[in-house]
Structure 1
Amino acid sequence: MRFNFTKEIPRVYDAMLSLDATITQANPDRRLVHLTKIRVSQINGCAYCVNMHVKEAQQDGLPDMLLHLVAVWPETSVFTARDRAALAWAETLTRLEGSEVSDADYAVARAELSTQEVAALTASVAMINLWNRMATGARLPA
């Protein structure tokens, strides 16, 4: 581990925990939150977060088959239309790479999710991207 941000910047860490708890409360569909946190963490190469979120998803009863296949979700039929919309939205927001989020991407999300769900999921994806960057920067072990 390079550094322990809970010790080096405890106020920032506490604020992140508080914001994360608020965002979690805004997302009533835990399944979508688990799947998107795992997928975003995979994209960002954050082994610590993938490990943690897979365990949390298992504790909440998500089937192992889903957890094994989330990395290849477009290639399998085990995910619901809502899952697919959430995963596509999460990937779009995570893979910005200098591009904008298109109306077409938003329309895919809105086809399955309410405006409130898209807003809450957007906050959740932003939060896990922040956690991933903190964990990979600190090089937290899986």
Structure 2
Amino acid sequence: MSRTEVLDPEVARALSALSATAKQGLGDPALAELVVIRASQLNHCAFCLDMHLAVARKHGVGEKQLDLLAAWEEADGVFDERERAALALTEAVTVLTDGFVPHDVFANAARHFDEDTLAHLIALVVAINNWNRMMVARRIAPGGYRP
């Protein structure tokens, strides 16, 4: 089953367009996949994890990064500073502790991404959070992704 089979086609097109625009604006397919995988881990979305792990491998993301992504903060030397800033922002936007993104997390991300790229990174996190919630709410099982 594809993502579009579980949603109204207009909703699926809108979410797909947001995802594609955000990824294109981020300009780094491997980083984009690390971001969506981390958000999907936090949201316990097995469908999106199954799909994006396969896509990440196609974009050359290494097994060590995929294996240690859930513990990226403790995985010294595995993720560079730009990746770490993106992952911290991903977690802050996904979890929204105390209802906002901490200033230091945003400021660190802003040091690694220009304004436009940062906007696309945030849009990507928002998009995958929407997908995760749709898939989890609909109880869509992994294994049905078709590229």
Q: Could you say which residue in structure 2 is the equivalent of 1:67? A: 66
Task: Report whether the alignment pairs 1:128 with 2:117.
Answer: no
Q: How many residues align?
A: 140
Q: Could you say which residue in structure 1 is the equivalent of 2:20? A: 21
Give the letter aligned to residue 47 of structure 1: A
Contiguous gaps of at least 5 residues in structure 1: none
Structure 1, 110-119 or 127-136: larger mean CA deviation: 110-119
Q: How big is the shift at 1:5?
A: 6.3
Task: Report whether the alignment pairs 1:138 with 2:129.
Answer: no
SS at match of 2:140: coil
Distance 2:66 2:106 in 1: 25
Percent identity over paired residues: 38
Distance 1:114 1:19 in 2: 19
SS at match of 2:99: coil
Q: Could you say which residue in structure 1 is the equivalent of 2:118? A: 118
Distance 1:8 1:22 in 2: 20
Q: How big is the shift at 1:84?
A: 0.3
Change (3 A) 1:8 1:115: closer
The 5-angstrom pairing of residues 38-117 of structure 1 reads 38-77=37-76, 78-117=78-117
Distance 1:97 1:47 in 2: 23
Structure 1, 130-139 or 111-120: larger mean CA deviation: 111-120
**Contact 1:36–1:86 (Cα < 8 Å) also in 2:** yes
**Contact 2:109–2:118 (Cα < 8 Å) also in 1:** yes
Q: How big is the shift at 1:102?
A: 2.8
Distance 1:16 1:7 in 2: 13
> Scaled by the length of structure 1, what TM-score is found?
0.90
Give the letter aligned to residue 73 of structure 2: P
Give the letter aligned to residue 55 of structure 1: A
Distance 1:133 1:65 in 2: 27
Change (3 A) 1:140 1:7: closer
Distance 1:106 1:35 in 2: 18
Distance 2:29 2:7 in 1: 31
Distance 1:79 1:8 in 2: 35
Distance 1:120 1:10 in 2: 24
Contiguous gaps of at least 5 residues in structure 2: 143-147
Change (3 A) 1:12 1:86: same
TM-superposition CA deviations, 1:38-72 (whole Å, max 9, x none): 00000000011011111000011111110011000
Q: CA RMSD in A?
A: 1.8
Q: How big is the shift at 1:19?
A: 2.3
